[in-house]
């Protein structure tokens, strides 16, 4: 039994053991923690061989581009389910080295699909909202044509198509910004912004790049439900609240109690040409909610008091308001509703 929002939802049983790929990323890192707690000794996470700092129980070094090593792991553990969170999301690195982006984000998926081709494995694959350019008003639904502006987005579109062709029984979840801690302390949206403020360094974010972020607490529970059911195809899994990157930074600044002068903003057209920036890539997740029979994703942040009202909102610190890194951890990294129900 897992708790989703104000009610309880019974999660169908998973086919165990579970393999989680891409555990160096925010989504995979938080999923590994969640599923290891839920199913002790039955969950394995893989990371790139050169990421030697990422160690722990159930963590195995295996490059996604190494099909022989991947096949050996399946022979050893006989995984019943796979949560594929792998992918290089470093926009600039992908833009400057397209072959690297292709190897990591496409060939890795192709290798995984080859290994599981004749195995009774439940696959849930994570994609991203940046498959869209964001030139319109957002609110994308699944049939909308993809038109990414980055190499990263192009590779994620290719990976989606490969999964759809090779495993029509798989579920692909397009997520937006996963809001939770990162392994290295600066990879995730919150971590990168907060790392700048902690060092008293300025952070410049865009007024016109708009996303639909979601707590990793919600995404973890959603992944468990999807791994246990048989829903197939493409589903948007963006949160219900639209926020620009600048607004997200405002929230981190004020909730964390940081110096408001450290936050700067600009339109994406004023930034450098590399990497290109998407615009309004917000997603409509009604199809997912209808398929599940409930809304799996709470707004981020949960409490509407932390929603910016204008571009100077983060400078307004009412008497008695005590922003702090501890408060940030309690209400931005974690979903207070989920925490209260544990």
Per-residue pLDDT tens over the stretch 248-292:
999 999 999 999 999 999 999 888 777 889 999 999 999 999 999
CB 265 within 8 A of CB 207: yes
Omega before 190 within 30 of 0, i.e. cis? no
pLDDT value of residue 94: 83
CB 147 within 8 A of CB 194: no
240 vs 214, 219, 286, CA distance in Å?
8, 13, 10
Q: Which of 292, 288, 284, 295 is nearest to 234 (CA)?
A: 288
Percent over 90 (pLDDT), the chain: 77
pLDDT value of residue 9: 59
- For every residue of 267-303, DSSP letters joined together read -GGGS-SSS----B--B--HHHHHHHTS-----SSSS
pLDDT value of residue 7: 44
Give the mean model confidence (pLDDT) for residues 17-29: 95
CB 86 within 8 A of CB 70: no
Return the DSSP state at 333. I
End-to-end, the C-alpha distance of the chain in Å comes to: 11
Percent over 70 (pLDDT), the chain: 96
- 10 Å CB burial of residue 9 (0-12, 13-18, 19+) is middle
Least confident of 25-39, 154-168, 260-274, 287-301: 260-274
| Distance (Å, whole) CA 204 – CA 160 | 31
Residue 115's CATH number: 3.40.50.720
Return the DSSP state at 239. -
Reported as half-sphere exposure (CB side, CA atoms, 13 A), residue 276 has a value of 17
| Distance (Å, whole) CA 199 – CA 172 | 38
CB count in 10 Å sphere of residue 313: 16
Per-residue pLDDT tens over the stretch 147-159:
999 999 999 999 9
CB 251 within 8 A of CB 323: no
Count of domains observed in the chain: 1
Give the mean model confidence (pLDDT) for residues 1-12: 51
pLDDT value of residue 10: 60
- Give me the domain span that covers residue 33: 2-341
Per-residue pLDDT tens over the stretch 87-145:
887 788 888 888 988 988 999 999 999 999 999 999 999 999 999 999 999 999 999 99
For the chain, the helix, strand and coil percentages under 3-state DSSP, each to the nearest 5? 40, 15, 45
């Amino acid at each position: 039994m897992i708790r989703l929002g104000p009610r309880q939802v019974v999660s169908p049983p998973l086919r165990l053991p579970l393999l989680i790929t891409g555990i160096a990323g925010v989504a995979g890192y938080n999923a590994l923690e969640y599923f290891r707690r839920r199913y002790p000794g039955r969950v394995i996470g893989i990371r790139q061989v050169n990421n030697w700092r990422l160690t722990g129980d159930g963590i195995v070094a295996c490059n996604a581009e190494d099909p022989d090593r991947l096949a050996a792991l399946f022979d050893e553990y006989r995984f019943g389910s796979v949560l594929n969170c792998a992918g290089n999301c470093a926009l600039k690195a992908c833009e400057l080295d397209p072959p690297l982006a292709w190897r990591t984000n496409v060939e890795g998926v192709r290798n995984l699909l080859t290994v599981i081709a004749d195995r009774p494995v439940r696959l849930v694959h994570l994609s991203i909202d940046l498959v869209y350019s964001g030139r319109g008003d957002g609110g994308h639904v699944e049939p909308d044509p993809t038109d990414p502006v980055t190499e990263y987005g192009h590779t994620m579109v290719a990976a989606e198509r490969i999964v759809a062709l090779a495993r029509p029984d798989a579920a692909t979840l397009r997520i937006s910004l996963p809001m939770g801690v990162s392994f290295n302390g600066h990879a995730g949206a919150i971590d990168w912004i907060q790392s700048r403020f902690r060092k008293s360094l300025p952070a410049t974010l865009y007024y016109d790049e708009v996303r639909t972020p979601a707590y990793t607490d919600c995404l973890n529970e959603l992944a468990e439900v999807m791994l246990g059911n048989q829903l197939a195809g493409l589903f948007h899994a963006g949160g219900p609240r639209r926020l620009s990157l600048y607004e997200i930074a405002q929230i981190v600044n004020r909730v964390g109690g940081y110096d408001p002068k450290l936050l700067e903003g600009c339109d994406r057209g004023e930034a450098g040409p590399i990497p290109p920036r998407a615009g309004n890539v917000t997603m409509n997740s009604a199809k997912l909610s209808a398929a599940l029979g409930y809304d799996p994703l709470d707004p981020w942040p949960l409490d509407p008091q932390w929603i910016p009202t204008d571009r100077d909102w983060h400078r307004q610190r009412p008497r008695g308001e005590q922003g702090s890194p501890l408060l940030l951890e309690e209400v931005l990294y974690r979903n207070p509703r989920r925490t209260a129900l544990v």
